[in-house]
A and B are shown apart, each in its own frame.
Chain A
Amino acid sequence: MIRALLAAAYVVFALVPTARADDALDLRLRHLESGLRCLVCQNQTLAESDADLAADLRLEVRKLALAGKSDDEIRDYLVARYGDFVLYDPPLKPVTWLLWFGPFVLLAAGTVTWIVVGRSRRRATPGVKAEFEVAARNLLAGAAASPAGAAPAGVGQAETDSGDAARQPLDG
């Protein structure tokens, strides 16, 4: 009985480390393949594609990994054959500058436009307001001259008309 248990334990402990090493490799390859594009179904990664070629390439990637190649070396191996297109993360080089920096250039251009337009608008507003200000001052001066101005009931017909005319721009 004890012997059987020991034998079982031996088998289990003998198996566990290799299983772990395999898991680690699987995990590493899965991570690596998730960043690689399948050439056949171009919107799938190498990890998730069912295409024949993807299976072949996964096998190739595993062979390279088992031969001790690093992730970068494996990526270079595929890029040499299929081009940068296999990388979901395109490398930074003169041809891809527009791709990498284009959005930031657009963002900067948008921000500059926004600021310039905002400024010219703010500068334009006081000019319009000056007319209103004069009208408002006139109105206030008129109201101050007539003590009844505060009480609408006491305001005469003619005065109300001119008052309304003066008030109009204020509403607008």
Chain B
Amino acid sequence: MKRPGPLLTLLAGLVLGLFMLTLNVTSGTKTASSSYSEASQSPSPSPKKSAPASPTPTVTPSPTPSKSAVPNASYAGRTDDDTASVAVTIRDGKAVAYFCDGRYKEAWLRGPVADDGTMKLTAPNGAVLDGKLQQGKKIRGTVKDEGRKYAFTADKAVKPSGLWRATAKVRGAKIDGGWIVLPNGRQTGIVTRDGKVSAAPRIDPETGAVTVDGQQLTAQPVTP
């Protein structure tokens, strides 16, 4: 009789690993960055609905046990005057958005998304984003920041476009970087070093790798 213990240990690890993997794959549509699958399936069953009706039909085909009527996805685009980028990530009825001009203006906004797809997100610095999800395909809205109002359109963004953030300490300085990667590959980013704002170096959109002040950082996709 051979000792079964080690084999059981291995099997337990295998089962646990497969279990976690299944958990990841089945809850995958909840994560902002794995929105490919959603992009391909969700909008199709509601063809040619001319009225900007509720986005509810887009939810039905999605197998996610999401409690919210709004599908989990990311959106990214430019303001109408082309001075800044806006990206929004929706997950479980909550949204996080980043407004960034790539030079000195930025705002991280958060808030809930109503079942009809409208959202009002706010930032600690007072910026406000009002937006509405249109047929699950894009978000139209405005960002009010420092007394100015910017209209924007953000189209559905699939990985690696979307919203990225990296925080770190480099030689004692607190680094906070935010990036918006547009579907066409264009990047807008700002790095804040101990409160001082400047344009950010490009990130590798495949891995999130970026070098700030000689230090290799890894930006992560942002979720609410």
Do A and B come from the same complex?
Answer: no
Interface residues of A (CB under 8 A from B): none
Interface residues of B (CB under 8 A from A): none
